[in-house]
Amino acid sequence: MNHDRNDTPKNRLTGAQVAEHNSKDSCWVIVHGRAYDVTEFLPEHPGGSKIILKYAGKDATEEFEPIHPPDTLDKYLDKSKHLGEVDMGTVQQEEKEIDPDEEARQERIKRMPILEQCYNLMDFEAVARSVMKKTAWAYYSSGADDEITMRENHNAFHKIWFRPRVLEDVEHVDTSTTMLGAKVSMPFYVTATALGKLGNPEGEVILTRGAKKHNVIQMIPTLASCSFDEICDAAEDGQVQWLQLYVNKDRAVTKRIVEHAEKRGCKGLFITVDAPQLGRREKDMRSKFDDVGSNVQSSSGDDVDRSQGAARAISSFIDPSLSWKDIPWFLEITKMPIILKGVQRVEDVIRAIEAGVHGVVLSNHGGRQLDFARSGIEVLAEVMPVLRERNWQDRIEIYIDGGVRRATDIIKALCLGAKGVGIGRPFLYAMSAYGLPGVDRAMQLLKDEMEMNMRLIGCSSVSDLNPTLIDTRGLGMHTAVVPRDTLGQNVYDPLIGPKEKAKL
Amino acid sequence: MNHDRNDTPKNRLTGAQVAEHNSKDSCWVIVHGRAYDVTEFLPEHPGGSKIILKYAGKDATEEFEPIHPPDTLDKYLDKSKHLGEVDMGTVQQEEKEIDPDEEARQERIKRMPILEQCYNLMDFEAVARSVMKKTAWAYYSSGADDEITMRENHNAFHKIWFRPRVLEDVEHVDTSTTMLGAKVSMPFYVTATALGKLGNPEGEVILTRGAKKHNVIQMIPTLASCSFDEICDAAEDGQVQWLQLYVNKDRAVTKRIVEHAEKRGCKGLFITVDAPQLGRREKDMRSKFDDVGSNVQSSSGDDVDRSQGAARAISSFIDPSLSWKDIPWFLEITKMPIILKGVQRVEDVIRAIEAGVHGVVLSNHGGRQLDFARSGIEVLAEVMPVLRERNWQDRIEIYIDGGVRRATDIIKALCLGAKGVGIGRPFLYAMSAYGLPGVDRAMQLLKDEMEMNMRLIGCSSVSDLNPTLIDTRGLGMHTAVVPRDTLGQNVYDPLIGPKEKAKL
Amino acid sequence: MNHDRNDTPKNRLTGAQVAEHNSKDSCWVIVHGRAYDVTEFLPEHPGGSKIILKYAGKDATEEFEPIHPPDTLDKYLDKSKHLGEVDMGTVQQEEKEIDPDEEARQERIKRMPILEQCYNLMDFEAVARSVMKKTAWAYYSSGADDEITMRENHNAFHKIWFRPRVLEDVEHVDTSTTMLGAKVSMPFYVTATALGKLGNPEGEVILTRGAKKHNVIQMIPTLASCSFDEICDAAEDGQVQWLQLYVNKDRAVTKRIVEHAEKRGCKGLFITVDAPQLGRREKDMRSKFDDVGSNVQSSSGDDVDRSQGAARAISSFIDPSLSWKDIPWFLEITKMPIILKGVQRVEDVIRAIEAGVHGVVLSNHGGRQLDFARSGIEVLAEVMPVLRERNWQDRIEIYIDGGVRRATDIIKALCLGAKGVGIGRPFLYAMSAYGLPGVDRAMQLLKDEMEMNMRLIGCSSVSDLNPTLIDTRGLGMHTAVVPRDTLGQNVYDPLIGPKEKAKL
Amino acid sequence: MNHDRNDTPKNRLTGAQVAEHNSKDSCWVIVHGRAYDVTEFLPEHPGGSKIILKYAGKDATEEFEPIHPPDTLDKYLDKSKHLGEVDMGTVQQEEKEIDPDEEARQERIKRMPILEQCYNLMDFEAVARSVMKKTAWAYYSSGADDEITMRENHNAFHKIWFRPRVLEDVEHVDTSTTMLGAKVSMPFYVTATALGKLGNPEGEVILTRGAKKHNVIQMIPTLASCSFDEICDAAEDGQVQWLQLYVNKDRAVTKRIVEHAEKRGCKGLFITVDAPQLGRREKDMRSKFDDVGSNVQSSSGDDVDRSQGAARAISSFIDPSLSWKDIPWFLEITKMPIILKGVQRVEDVIRAIEAGVHGVVLSNHGGRQLDFARSGIEVLAEVMPVLRERNWQDRIEIYIDGGVRRATDIIKALCLGAKGVGIGRPFLYAMSAYGLPGVDRAMQLLKDEMEMNMRLIGCSSVSDLNPTLIDTRGLGMHTAVVPRDTLGQNVYDPLIGPKEKAKL
């Protein structure tokens, strides 16, 4: 290819010009057809300089896009570093190395199961794991430390069993309920999850459309790939949305966000309280390392690797000093109901009620923050009896999230006393694997399960659900079994069934 | 082959004529040598239209047979659509595609273990799994959702241990007892299971003959492959049978069925109360999909797949509004003892007694309905102490079913206070693998185990069995262990035993 | 080979003569050089006729030897059927089929680990499993039903943990104690196990010699391969032996046995009370079937297979009517202390004390009788507090057996209150793999472990062991975990450690 | 090579001269260039004679070095047996056999992950396992008996879950605390572990440097590969070190050691009380056997193998008679605070307080001594409530060690009431894999986790940690599950997810 073409329009940079700035001494990158000088920004990049240097002198759009909100460069890079348009026709297309992992993934995409083969939420996760980019999968699927809380979240539901009623008229089953005053067709909402474009180029607006179709609420994440307004714009007529909020160190910024959300019609403000710092997620970090690690020439102490996964790259603004004393200020600046997201013990639920907020989400952030944090469903079982003893159970709406995969999980939470449950990853996986039809089917499957299982426990409406319908004796016991004696296990000769005849 | 033969008898259709109607616009199928126009019926077919369209213009007998009672077409398809006999000699024999799965299965059948190699009920299941058609296996073996209840049913017995008496004279062990007044030689009955012809072309009558041979009771299923009368006819002399009843939305139908059963001599009416709607069984659905899925050309939203497995295809008539207020009516229309099958908590047992019925079966429908329903044996342990406290233990006969595989399971149930236990799948598997000799041997093995184990706990008759003979401390705790730390597990270097010398 | 040799001595049968009687119509077999007509005995053979017919007309010595006591033929076959000596030179040596399993076993024997590589009792089991004949291994290693009790026996020890004392002077550790008045060097005895010649051609006398060397007691089994007198004769000077007794339906036989044992100097009479009938052990039965099954031509109902493993073949004389009312008679006929072996609940221990016997063994027969019988150690934890409450703990000696593999197991039992423990299979395995040196090393390893662990819990003598040294909170809970959700497990992407660099 | 060179200096032995003494009748070995006659010492060698005979007539330096303190030969071999210098140029270099295991290890070392890929302490263990010599790995990684306690140590932390506070100001997190009066930056110390040179040729001084860098305390082991003074010398300025002490049978020796340590500035004396005898560690023994076993010609009873692993070879001097009555003497001979290391029940903690010592370490010696000893964290949960009830919680400093791998483990211990935790193996593994940078990174990772997790439970300083922040309901239950029914498990057909399309 000839880089010295004379037909380059005035004022547009050529690929060759950009390509000269390919080191940490002078580092230019192209994003969406415009060049930027990020040399001085390198040491400040929350995701580390390595990942940028990988694209020094090159087009970084594909990498940049899903993990940065659209206005990132305007906000964080001084205008003097905005170098203007690039004649993209002159930018050398990098011959991508043949990546055997990526080739295998493309092959898997070709042979992807059709949507009708997904019969439950786990199935979407199985497909997503198979067809998503490894780094995107790692970001969505990872949890804190040993991911014990992340897995316990779903496991905990396995400790709760049903005590169904029989011979109740369940011809007509109504799964609708209300959340913060809004009527919804099912007792779940789409909870906030970050970086939707990692899974689908359209991002969170797909979830908006899915939520609309099934008349459930979407909680808009602070760390969305789409901008807040894009997500609001995607909502139709009276569709209800909530805002999830990471509180910024700069309260003026926070105030602007809250006021803007209220103006755009958000019906609830969910303040995240379980993430003064975003968690270490080693699966995510390792995946990131694999991506940039091949460039690593030395491992001297000075050149510490700062690529700690997507999570930590996007969260440095969060205020770790947020505390109970900030709550009155929030109650002042907005009329939206305020819900604390991430409460994890009964003492703090009581404190929340006393502080005058309207709800809590018992949550451990999907197991992504503190390992060995208890599951929301377990905390719920701790909370409700205490509230009922005080007759406080109606002073606040209580939600849980984490590990919900089956309608039975939802029903268990409602039997215990939750108003509803949040579901995050499953819809991300459905979206990543099949786009909107995936989200649609995932919600439909939940609805089918919901009706079926309400019927099977003898309840025709959400208000029928109550604690006598479940057996929670097993909940709350964190059982880890005695390690096995390997030698003993090895010498045991297990029973076998009847043997086939020998081949003739 | 020449389709234009002139020797076709008058009034008989030719294969070629039928073959022209091979689309959803005009769909004829042949069943048992007669043609039917099912074009208009397609959208109503409970099993979805796809499975019918697979046979449009063709002979569907083989697929139709095991999952439809003999009188289905007469009952559900208007006579005007009965097109009359087909000259089967003119029907083109479809060259079956070579299905490698089926070939492998035929090979396994050739090498099937001989019957004497089956030493316990599990062994029949192992053979059946190996030699049954995949779809038949999927229908029999599947359970609700994650099949956790289905497996828990047997596991729950593992939480009950014996406290045997020694030095009791057990030379003569008598395993006989009575059920609803009938003398039986062992404290189990053959419980109702649907679609027997999936496992064996003769269907449920094989179970009738096996039950006769061992003097145990058979419960006749509503959804049998054989007709009710065929099963009654197969019984000999004083052989006792019961009727399992799904209550029809049309009570007149139900009344006819009940009155007919009483007339034919049924000695008990078991009303199923745990299935207002038949469950989703994903293994069954997936197996069904695999069968018809290859035809699927598109997966647009309009063409929703309705093939949800055998279970849901056969149950649309069941009345989900059945409730306690219907019980008096049943008590009026029949003199047969009435037993509620599928009760799952002590409150409902008490209500059943108050309603005047004669028995309950504590059951979760073999784990096929509501996942996380507790096992019958666990519910039994909840029920009996409450009844004994009220001195109500003799006001009703209490049965359980689900997960029974060993005589020790039966003995545990009787020690707790059950009158008997129902066994379903194991006899289906024995029948599917080996026919009547299989059922015979399965019952004989249970009998042998029963005598042996009665002896070993120091009891010579069923009336000796009592709660002091068991230790139930572990029952009722639904233990799910803390997820393991994969990293920790991976780095542990397990102990090994002595190593062989190196080969010289 | 020429069968018509004329040099056959008078009165000796030739191989050819015997070989003519090779069917069920006339069936002769050779044992130890003598021919027997077993035609009429075939249907009575406790092990079934098939196994005999396998040797019809042939030399059966090798098969006969290990599982029949030396005097079997004299006792059970009428003298008229004893046909006299055979000229063994004329018996055609069967060309053994090359059995690939046997060849592999011979290869394993060549590469057997040397004795010094066995560091614990499990190691002997690993070697024995590898080098023993499959049928012999199956007989020794099998348990009742699903072998759950058999495995629980050892597992139960894993629920007991230590609360060691520190800073006690443990320079000199004394592991000796007394059992029924006899001084022994360690608190275990060699318990009775049947058919020692299956593991080693010399049989139980090897255990006698091992027990002598380490000054522990051997309990002589009723069903030994060696005769009772052979085992007594193998004992030296003051070596203490006990007799294990299956009570014969013919009490005169029993009386003769007991009186003879007392005369020969036995110091304890252990009456087995947990085996009114010997258990079904499916691993054993299946192994037996494999052995004779290849002859099976038909599987019709008439020709029921009676080969139910070695266990049931040897036990038909046992009296299932033995009961508490027989105890006074035993107390009359002997001065030996009487111990009931196989007691399994506290009520029966109390009854034993009231009946005036001198001890009980809390045992479930090595898990070979009743599956889901509790382990001896668990029953011990039930028994001792009740006895102590009555201050009866010294009125009887209490032993346990089952699952003991480590000195820590022994110490746990003694801390709870046992006088000693019986060990069976481990010594059989040591004997089967390495003969007397194996038994010697096994006992030495136990002794080393014993001293070490006594020291580590801060006890210098057996009398120091007491209940405060253990934590038994976990004992007695029969935990079976909730079945796992396969789908959920499958989609979880486990954490991995650092990856190796790619190969250059 | 020519051994008869004449240029050998006077008074120096030649390799040929040494090589003549290559049997048990006359056995010379070379260590660090000097020859020694060890013929008479052979039977006394704690590690057995075999391992020495392997080097008879040869240079044994490489084997000798890591497991013997530098002054061993001076101390234990009479000067008359010191034969003087060897001209090493004349010593035949043994052509090492190509060991395929060693070759594979060298290959693994080449492809070792870079340090930045280690994200947690488990990762170092994974790398160490891959790159360490097998015998060294076996020594470090092995535990007592079935290694159940060793594994339980970490597992026990899995039974403790968090009850985090939210909305606490955690902007500034301070992880510093004091231990025995010394200020440290994190609440852990490097506990004593033996034979550091097995992992790294520099040995324990690497840990000294790492501890300095992160301002934590190092406990110097009695059985270090480096000499005590070498380790003291490696410390800088005010760096705090403690002494771990195995008490010698000869108290004069002990006194010299203690006084010397105090003089060198040690700030704490940790007397090991859980090791009156060093444990049997079968993984270590087996690894050792493999190493010398190939020489074994016979396995007669006389030639008993004494190679019982590194552990027992180095500990014969330890006094098993050490008892509470010795404590006053220790309090007299030193002003250093005295801490009992290895206390395992509350009774002994009380006794320790009464005896006037300054601290205890609740420890089971890393699971290397008594199997089924409870974990330190479990004992801590037993101890603290009793002390608090007496208001004695401040009369002593309580530490735990064993199984600590995550900052959450440390935080759990501190919430329960520990002053700090000891960490051993993880730093050894980091050192063995990566030397000082490994230790540095391991500590840094712990520090990062510590800050993060303190923040996530809502605590900004160590003093904020308290028992309400954890849920310990699961702790103390030693759960071993009922053995599974293999037959039942085998016949279960697990659910599967959606299938890929067939390859075209």
DSSP string for C254-286: HHHHHHHHHHTT---EEEE-S-SSPPP-HHHHH
Provide, as residue numbers in chain D, all residues whose Cβ is less than 8 Å from the Cβ of C412.
372
Question: Do A448 and B280 count as a contact with CB atoms less than 8 A apart?
Answer: yes
* Closest CA relative to residue A60, chosen from A78, A42, A43: A42
Beta-carbon pairs below 8 A across chains A and B? 174
For residue D168, what pLDDT is reported? 96
* Chain D neighbors of C455, CB-CB under 8 A: 276-277, 320
DSSP structure class, residue D56: T
Q: Which entry of D59, D123, D274, D409 is annotated as an active-site residue?
A: D274
Q: At residue C3, does pLDDT exceed 50?
A: no
Helix (H), strand (E) counts: chain C: 19, 15
Residue D427, Cβ neighbours under 10 Å: how many? 27
Partner-chain contact D276 C456, CB within 8 Å: yes
pLDDT one-digit tens code per residue, C229-273: 999 999 998 999 999 999 999 999 999 999 999 999 999 999 999
Measured in residues, chain D has a length of 504
- Kindly state the tokens that stand for C164: 């060691």
Pick from D169, D173, D171, D275: which is nearest to D222 by CA? D275
Q: Which chain A residues are closer than 8 Å to B305 by Cβ?
A: 116
- Mean of pLDDT values over D414-426: 98
Q: What is the pLDDT, as a whole number, of residue D45? A: 78
- Asked if pLDDT for residue B294 goes beyond 50, the answer is no
pLDDT higher than 50, residue C446: yes
Of the residues B59, B123, B274, B291, only one is catalytic, namely B274
Percent of the residues in chain C that have a pLDDT greater than 70, as a whole number? 91
Q: Give the CA distances from residue B235 to residues B202, B205, B270, in Å, rounded to whole numbers and listed in that order.
A: 14, 8, 19
Q: How many CB pairs under 8 A join B and C?
A: 175
C295 vs B456: which has the higher pLDDT: B456
Residue-by-residue DSSP string for A152-210: HHHHGGGG-EE----S---SS-B--EEETTEEESSSEEE---S-GGGT-TTTTHHHHHH
How far is residue D205's CA from residue D236's CA, in Å, rounded to a whole number? 11
Q: Note the pLDDT of residue B297.
A: 33
Nearest CA in chain C to B502: C111
Contact flag B372-A159 (C-beta cutoff 8 Å): no
**Beta carbons of A374 and D448 less than 8 Å apart:** no
For the question of residue D246 being annotated catalytic, the response is: yes
CA R_g for chain C: 25
Mutate to test the interface with C, among B280, B374, B448, B456 (most CBs of C within 10 A): B456
DSSP symbol at C174? B
Task: In whole angstroms, give the CA distance from residue D327 to residue B204.
Answer: 81
Backbone torsions φ then ψ of A422, nearest 5 degrees: -95, 140
Q: Which of A73-87, B387-401, C131-145 has the highest mean pLDDT?
A: B387-401
- Rounded CA-CA distance D278/D281 in Å is 9
Question: Catalytic: D274?
Answer: yes
C108 with C130: CB under 8 angstroms? yes
Q: Using CB atoms within 10 A of its CB, is residue C473 exposed (0-12), middle (13-18) or buried (19+)?
A: middle
Question: What is the pLDDT averaged over residues D467-495?
Answer: 89
Residue C393 confidence (pLDDT): 96
Helix or strand run (H / E) with residue B456: helix B425-456
ipTM at complex level: 0.89
Interface residue ranges in chain C relative to chain A, Cβ cutoff 8 Å: 120, 122-123, 125-126, 129, 137, 141, 146-147, 151, 154, 158-159, 282-283, 286, 290, 405, 474, 479, 481-482, 485, 487-488, 490-493, 495-496, 498-499
pLDDT of residue B194: 87
Instruction: Identify the pLDDT of residue C302.
Output: 34
pLDDT score at D93: 77
B340-344, C206-210, D56-60, range with the lowest pLDDT: D56-60
From CA D437, how far away is CA D127, in angstroms rounded? 14
How far apart are the C-alpha atoms of A74 and A79, rounded to whole Å? 7
- Asked if D495 lies within 8 A of C473 by C-beta distance, the reply is no
Select from D305, D373, D497 the Cβ nearest to the Cβ of C116: D305
Please answer whether residues C278 and C348 qualify as being in contact, where contact means their C-beta atoms are separated by less than 8 angstroms: no
| Tens of pLDDT, residues B95-154 | 767 888 889 999 999 999 999 999 999 999 999 999 999 989 999 999 999 999 999 999
Interface test with C, best of A122, A286, A296 (most C CBs within 10 A): A122
- Hey, is D166 helix, strand or coil? coil
Of A365, A409, A440, A464, the active-site residue reads: A365
Neighbouring chains of A at 3+ CB pairs under 8 Å are B, C, D
pLDDT tens-digit readout, B172-197: 999 999 999 999 999 999 999 988 99
pLDDT at A301: 35
| Model confidence at D96: pLDDT above 90 | no
CA distances (Å), A389 to each of A384, A475, B290, D418, D440, in order?
8, 20, 53, 35, 52
Q: What is the pLDDT of residue D273?
A: 96
pLDDT higher than threshold 60 for residue B71: yes
Contacts of D481 in chain B (CB under 8 A): 479, 481
Q: Between helices C425-456 and C134-141, what is the axis angle to 10°?
A: 50
pLDDT of residue A5: 45
Catalytic residue from among C36, C189, C246, C434:
C246
- Which of the other chains make 3 or more beta carbon contacts under 8 angstroms with chain C? A, B, D
Report the C-alpha gap between C402 and C407 in whole angstroms.
Answer: 13
**Cβ separation of A478 and D120 shorter than 8 Å?**
no
Q: Which of D113, D122, D282 shows the shortest C-beta gap to C119?
A: D282
Q: Which of A458, A470, A442 is nearest to A186 (CA)?
A: A442
Whether D491 contacts B125, CB under 8 Å: yes
Subunits next to B (3 or more Cβ pairs <8 Å) are: A, C, D
Of B284, B365, B371, B434, catalytic: B365
Residue D487's nearest CA partner among A486, B120, B427 is B120
Q: What is the pLDDT of residue A353?
A: 98
- Does the pLDDT value for residue B307 go beyond 50? no
CB contact under 8 A, D116 and A296: yes
List the structure tokens of A464.
Answer: 């029928």
Rounded mean pLDDT, D330-354: 98
Residues of A in contact with C290 (CB under 8 A): 499
Can you tell me the distance from the alpha carbon of C401 to that of C367, in angstroms, rounded to the nearest whole number? 10
Burial B279-289 (b: 16+ CB within 10 A, else e): bbbbbbbbbbb
Q: Contact, C448 vs C144, CB < 8 A?
A: no
The tokens for A242 are 């909530």
Question: Residue type at B387?
Answer: L
Out of A279, A344, A477, closest to residue D166 by CB:
A344
pLDDT 10s digits, C432-442: 999 999 999 99
Is residue C305 very low, low, confident or very high in pLDDT (cuts 50, 70, 90)?
Answer: very low
- Give me the mean pLDDT over the C295-310 stretch: 39
Give percent of chain C above pLDDT 90: 70
Average pLDDT over every residue of D165-194: 96
User: Phi first, then psi: what are they for D36, rounded to 5°?
Assistant: -135, 140
Amino acid letter, D60? A
CA distance D483 to chain A (A): 10
Q: Of C21, C154, C358, C365, which is the active-site residue?
A: C365
A348/D166 Cβ within 8 A:
yes
What is the number of H-type helices and E-type strands within chain B? 19, 15
pLDDT of residue B73: 84
Cβ–Cβ below 8 Å for C474 and A490: no
Which tokens hold the place of A153? 């979240």
State which residue of chain B sits closest to D296, comparing Cα positions.
Answer: B501
Interface test with A, best of B372, B378, B479 (most A CBs within 10 A): B372
| Chain D residues with CB-CB distance to A291 below 8 A | none
**In this structure, how many other beta carbons lie within 10 angstroms of the beta carbon of residue B69?**
18
In chain B, residues with a C-beta closer than 8 Å to the C-beta of A213 are none
Mean pLDDT of B408-435: 97
Best residue in A408, A492, A503, A504 for a mutation probing chain C (most C CBs within 10 Å)? A492
Q: Which chain D residues have a beta carbon less than 8 Å from that of C169?
A: 320-323
Residues 6+ apart with CB under 8 A from C125: A491, C425, C426, C429
What's chain B's Rg over C-alpha atoms?
Answer: 26
pLDDT at residue number C306: 42
Q: What is the pLDDT along chain A (504 residues), one digit of tens a residue?
A: 344 444 455 678 998 999 999 998 999 999 989 999 999 888 777 667 888 888 899 998 888 887 787 778 887 788 889 999 999 888 887 776 788 888 999 999 999 999 999 999 999 999 999 999 998 999 999 999 999 999 999 999 999 999 999 999 999 999 999 999 999 999 999 999 988 999 999 999 999 999 999 999 999 999 899 999 999 999 998 999 999 999 999 999 999 999 999 999 999 999 999 999 888 899 988 887 665 543 333 333 333 344 445 555 556 788 999 999 999 999 999 999 999 999 999 999 999 999 999 999 999 999 999 999 999 999 999 999 999 999 999 999 999 999 999 999 999 999 999 999 999 999 999 999 999 999 999 999 999 999 999 999 999 999 999 999 999 999 989 998 988 888 888 888 888 888 877 765
Polymer length of chain A: 504
Query: What is the C-alpha to C-alpha distance for residues B1 and B91, in angstroms, rounded to an integer?
Result: 10
Summarize the confidence of residues B312-329 as an average pLDDT.
85
Q: Is the pLDDT score of C22 beyond 80? A: yes
- Interface touch D492/B282, C-beta < 8 Å: no
Chain C residue whose CA is closest to B163? C345
* Tokens matching residue D312: 């027992």
Least confident of A86-95, B20-29, C288-297, D113-122: C288-297
